[in-house]
Structure 1
């Protein structure tokens, strides 16, 4: 059988899946509009009211953001979040409402749900970012100019970290709603995050420690603190380290993370300071005088302003003294005032003891010698015997 020399006609090119979807969407939408016109009009009216309400909230948020003096307060933060409401989110909400109310066909409803999912996740991510950054700014309200400058420097890093974290989560949520298997992506992000965290562990630990100091405020610039064996005044709180001027004059630089791991004592936040003094009087002091010393010192302490007497009494028999302990509080946050008041109390006690002939003890040794007949020669004068009372004449 002879073969034909004619070439076969190539088949017509098939439509691409994308073109098929567009054509199907147009066909379904046209049929739906024709058959459900009343429901669509009602849905459009409801959607218009919702969109107008969202626009009103956005304008209200813009109005709250105009007062720059309240920056960092909750009203300003909420207003800034409302002002970030996007128009494409409003359109997606309207399409979803119309599709759900007017019983749209499957393909139209699926498209509306797809757009609504993406728009909602992105809008929530924008709101979350604004609120998180606003919370950071809210914690800085009332900070000093230097602390505010440090927070401003840290905000650039915080803004970058928050943006990356929020939109990474939003991307994963969108892909998961679209049916994409995000297990591998989540695992990859987790491994990458761990690697970055380990590489920059020291930097991030000091950064977050600095933010903890600035926001939690265990101490502020200019306050006196003590950690380990160091006592000084805070000069600067940086993103990496804190600089402290020691009482001996040198500047001490310590990393923020290391500083927060120590037990800190803040001397500028004391509502009172307790003074504890031990002193001794000589063993020659009579018991009557020893009993009178606590009440005597109590009157001296209470005579000074901002002083509260706690206790005073004999505490121990010392090697060369009868030891007393005095405790009282000075109610003042100013260390200079506390120091001056304590000085005046000590001087007043010394004057009173001198006036009453009460001797403070100091380390001494007493040597006893004996006469040729063995009689001890006392190193001090023996107290005179009391004189007998004269008998009245009959």
Structure 2
């Protein structure tokens, strides 16, 4: 008689109160934990050889991954401070977490050992969380490494240190927020409302801090494009000065008159900037005006004379020199030479020395520089040039002054 009752229950009758449920629905956490433990015990006792093989394979995979991570840590200590790409990839490798290695090994071997569904679900659940967090850590190190690579090690700790700190915070928050959303999505949680809320909140924050973010992105442009660095001499608009500090919102310069000039990064990048720090030379142009009575042969040998004067100074080279035209009262010569120095004081002193040497050479060669003057010629009614003053008459034979007007 008991057999028909069991068959009747299997065909749709009510199951006995002590009968286990197949999917585990309706069980509390303690019951589910006990059931998972019972399934795991039965799996280990029934597939002991498979479990041992899978465990050995998982431990081997984990040891290999840990060895690779250890190599990355040793290389990172050796390449510390180097912002180039090999150091970036080594730093990414060294940031691999131990929990990710363990769960990755378990995920790779679990499906080959007839793992119970409950334990397999638990392993996959842990692997999804570990992989999302590890991917966020890898992406953060890669992005920050690229930023430091573009900025340079010394610049990152000095000039743009505050900007890079903000970038590090923004990158970390953004990547881990994406990782959390992906974890919740893979666990079956509806994240549509969460994503929409984050989007609306981001738009509101962006509109409220529009000016700050505009200057922040300008700081990023300075980081990646590098139009200037701290210590560079730059010129924009009517401002000339040396860059003292590049901050998150503003750039500070010291003008040639001594005062500090503070300008917003966004406003600064909107202007045409002249950077004098990257010149390997500076060109000096002088215009010389000789009097119109200068003989042609003197004008012909003047370029050679000026070349000897210019190249007699240290770190100078003549570019070109010659007569360029006729002024209103001058013969115009153009002199161009390069000073191989980026220091403006050196260029200034060299130009002064060249000018003094030219003046000395002209005085010795009796070459006259023109200056503003005007000559008046008086003509008689018949067109003859006459002197504008009375001409003295020759003395008389007796030595007495002539009487009357000349």
- Pick the TM interval, shorter chain: 0.7 to 0.9
User: Partner of 2:111: helix, strand, or coil?
Assistant: helix
Task: Indicate the residue corresponding to 1:392 in structure 2.
Answer: none
Q: Deviations over 1:287-345 (max 9, x none)?
A: 22222222221222222221121111111221111211111111111211111111111
2:210 to 188, 201, 214: 201
**1:316/1:103 CA distance change after superposition, 3 Å:** farther
Task: Indicate the residue corresponding to 1:256 in structure 2.
Answer: 265
**1:378/1:271 CA distance change after superposition, 3 Å:** farther
2:105 to 94, 117, 123: 94
- Report the count of equivalent residues: 366
Task: Indicate the residue corresponding to 1:244 in structure 2.
Answer: 253
Task: Indicate the residue corresponding to 1:52 in structure 2.
Answer: 63
Q: Say if 2:22 is the partner of 1:16.
A: no
Q: Supply the distance in 2 between the matched residues of 1:59 and 1:133 (Cα, whole angstroms).
A: 22
Q: Supply the distance in 1 between the matched residues of 2:195 and 2:222 (Cα, whole angstroms).
A: 33
1:315 to 295, 320, 324: 324
Q: Answer yes or no: is the 8 Å Cα contact 1:72–1:134 preserved in 2.
A: no
Q: Answer yes or no: is the 8 Å Cα contact 1:244–1:253 preserved in 2.
A: yes
Q: Supply the distance in 2 between the matched residues of 1:148 and 1:218 (Cα, whole angstroms).
A: 18
User: Partner of 1:198: helix, strand, or coil?
Assistant: helix
Q: Say if 2:23 is the partner of 1:43.
A: no
Q: Answer yes or no: is the 8 Å Cα contact 1:307–1:329 preserved in 2.
A: yes
* Offset at residue 353 of structure 1 (A): 1.8
Q: Supply the distance in 2 between the matched residues of 1:148 and 1:213 (Cα, whole angstroms).
A: 15
User: Partner of 1:222: helix, strand, or coil?
Assistant: coil
* Offset at residue 259 of structure 1 (A): 1.4
**1:251/1:184 CA distance change after superposition, 3 Å:** same
Q: Say if 2:335 is the partner of 1:333.
A: no
Q: Answer yes or no: is the 8 Å Cα contact 1:99–1:108 preserved in 2.
A: no
Give the alignment of 1:265-276 within 5 angstroms: 265-276=274-285
**1:208/1:281 CA distance change after superposition, 3 Å:** same
Q: Say if 2:321 is the partner of 1:296.
A: no
* Offset at residue 108 of structure 1 (A): 4.0
TM (norm. structure 2) is: 0.78
Task: Indicate the residue corresponding to 1:70 in structure 2.
Answer: 80
Task: Indicate the residue corresponding to 1:363 in structure 2.
Answer: 372
TM (norm. structure 1) is: 0.80
In terms of mean alpha carbon deviation, does 329-338 or 297-306 score higher? 297-306
Task: Indicate the residue corresponding to 1:385 in structure 2.
Answer: none
Q: Supply the distance in 1 between the matched residues of 2:148 and 2:320 (Cα, whole angstroms).
A: 48
Q: Deviations over 1:146-174 (max 9, x none)?
A: x7356444454333212210111112222
Q: Supply the distance in 2 between the matched residues of 1:152 and 1:369 (Cα, whole angstroms).
A: 77
Task: Indicate the residue corresponding to 2:229 in structure 1.
Answer: 220
Task: Indicate the residue corresponding to 1:234 in structure 2.
Answer: 243
Q: Supply the distance in 2 between the matched residues of 1:326 and 1:150 (Cα, whole angstroms).
A: 40
2:180 to 171, 188, 198: 171
Task: Indicate the residue corresponding to 1:351 in structure 2.
Answer: 360
The structure having more radius of gyration, on CA atoms, is 2
Q: Supply the distance in 1 between the matched residues of 2:189 and 2:375 (Cα, whole angstroms).
A: 97
**1:254/1:27 CA distance change after superposition, 3 Å:** same
Q: Say if 2:194 is the partner of 1:210.
A: no
Task: Indicate the residue corresponding to 2:397 in structure 1.
Answer: none
**1:190/1:229 CA distance change after superposition, 3 Å:** same
Q: Supply the distance in 1 between the matched residues of 2:61 and 2:314 (Cα, whole angstroms).
A: 67
List gaps (5 residues or longer) in structure 1.
1-10, 380-394
Q: Answer yes or no: is the 8 Å Cα contact 1:72–1:137 preserved in 2.
A: no
User: Partner of 1:292: helix, strand, or coil?
Assistant: helix
Q: Answer yes or no: is the 8 Å Cα contact 1:281–1:359 preserved in 2.
A: yes
User: Partner of 1:268: helix, strand, or coil?
Assistant: coil
Q: Supply the distance in 1 between the matched residues of 2:351 and 2:107 (Cα, whole angstroms).
A: 76
Q: Answer yes or no: is the 8 Å Cα contact 1:278–1:326 preserved in 2.
A: yes
Task: Indicate the residue corresponding to 1:118 in structure 2.
Answer: 129
User: Partner of 1:290: helix, strand, or coil?
Assistant: helix
Task: Indicate the residue corresponding to 1:159 in structure 2.
Answer: 168
* Offset at residue 220 of structure 1 (A): 3.2
* Offset at residue 274 of structure 1 (A): 0.8
Q: Supply the distance in 1 between the matched residues of 2:57 and 2:343 (Cα, whole angstroms).
A: 66
User: Partner of 1:225: helix, strand, or coil?
Assistant: strand
